[in-house]
């Protein structure tokens, strides 16, 4: 018998898949017919510097989210304390705040310290993306059975040893997944960065700059380079995560 329900779900679900795939396929296909503009973009020092800026700041953001987000995720998973729901709400809040508002808040809070510098870019990226690491780490730690930790403690292991040798490795897949999503969200951020740190230019800001000043045809090659670079690095990170798990 045919599984008509699965066929129905596939037909409905394919709409969203095709909706995402179509613009990517069209812009890449069109750019293949205009390789000269890609070569020209690759020779543009501003484009190369912006791509480097995007990768380095997104990677720094991901590392910071791991350093500070994993401990917070563990506490939210394992401990019950007064104000826990409030803490969780604050962690989730950046996901729903408009990113232009994020930029204004950060600039108001830190002022000259983050204005038009790498620290400003990373600050904006971290604010909008760290939630993914915290929440993914929290879910990973929740999935680790506490009785496994208790057994290790009864055998004489300290809390820190249990955490680093048992809990953390078992939750690593979820943590790495959150880190990947943090990196992806960071490299896609534009609104907050435009307000906090228009300079030094990241690729996502440069695309808007070229589009506003020179039009679609000039911005398109940079957009394609950013798509290809992001997709390639995203696949590498996914591969690393799968190997670690």
Residue 237 pLDDT exceeds 90 = no
Residue 210 binned pLDDT confidence (cut-offs 50, 70, 90): confident
Tens-digit pLDDT profile for residues 51-97: 899 999 999 999 999 999 999 999 999 888 888 899 999 999 998 88
- Tell me what pLDDT residue 76 has: 92
Question: For residues 226 and 205, what is the distance between their CA atoms, to the nearest angstrom?
Answer: 11
Tens-digit pLDDT profile for residues 125-177: 999 999 999 999 999 999 888 888 888 878 877 888 888 888 888 888 899 98
- Tell me what pLDDT residue 136 has: 94
Tens-digit pLDDT profile for residues 23-36: 888 888 888 877 78
Is the peptide bond between 97 and the residue preceding it cis, with omega within 30 degrees of 0? Answer: no
- Tell me what pLDDT residue 61 has: 95
Residue 245 pLDDT exceeds 60 = no
Quote the crossing angle between the two packed helices 168-187 and 118-143, to the nearest 10°: 150
Question: For residues 159 and 146, what is the distance between their CA atoms, to the nearest angstrom?
Answer: 12
State the CB neighbour count (10 A cutoff) for residue 243: 8
CA 25 to the chain's CA centroid: 23
- Tell me what pLDDT residue 241 has: 65
Residue-averaged pLDDT of the chain: 87
What global pTM score does this model have? Answer: 0.83
Tens-digit pLDDT profile for residues 44-60: 888 889 889 999 999 99
- Tell me what pLDDT residue 129 has: 92
- Tell me what pLDDT residue 1 has: 57
Q: What is the CATH number of domain 35-244?
A: 1.10.3720.10
- Tell me what pLDDT residue 244 has: 57
Q: Where are the domains of the chain?
A: 35-244
């Amino acid at each position: 018998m045919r599984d008509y329900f699965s066929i129905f779900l596939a037909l409905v679900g394919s709409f969203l898949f095709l909706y995402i795939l179509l613009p990517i396929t069209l812009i890449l296909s069109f750019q293949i017919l205009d390789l000269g503009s890609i070569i020209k973009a690759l020779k543009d020092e501003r484009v190369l510097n912006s791509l480097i800026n995007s990768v380095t700041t997104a990677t720094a953001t991901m590392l910071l989210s791991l350093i500070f987000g994993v401990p917070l995720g563990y506490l939210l998973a394992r401990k019950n304390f007064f104000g826990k729901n409030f803490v969780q709400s604050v962690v989730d809040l950046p996901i729903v705040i408009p990113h232009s508002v994020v930029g204004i808040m950060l600039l108001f809070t830190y002022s000259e310290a983050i204005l038009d510098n790498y620290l400003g870019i990373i600050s904006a990226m971290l604010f909008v993306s760290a939630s993914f690491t915290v929440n993914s780490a929290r879910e990973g730690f929740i999935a680790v059975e506490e009785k496994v930790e208790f057994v290790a403690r009864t055998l004489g292991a300290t809390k820190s040893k249990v955490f680093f040798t048992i809990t953390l490795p078992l939750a690593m897949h979820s943590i790495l997944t959150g880190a990947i999503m943090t990196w992806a969200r960071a490299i896609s951020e534009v609104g907050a960065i435009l307000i906090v740190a228009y300079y030094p230019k990241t690729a996502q800001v440069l695309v808007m700059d070229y589009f506003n000043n020179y039009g679609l045809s000039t911005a398109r090659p940079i957009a394609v380079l950013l798509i290809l670079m992001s997709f390639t690095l995203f696949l590498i990170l996914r591969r690393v995560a799968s190997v670690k798990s």
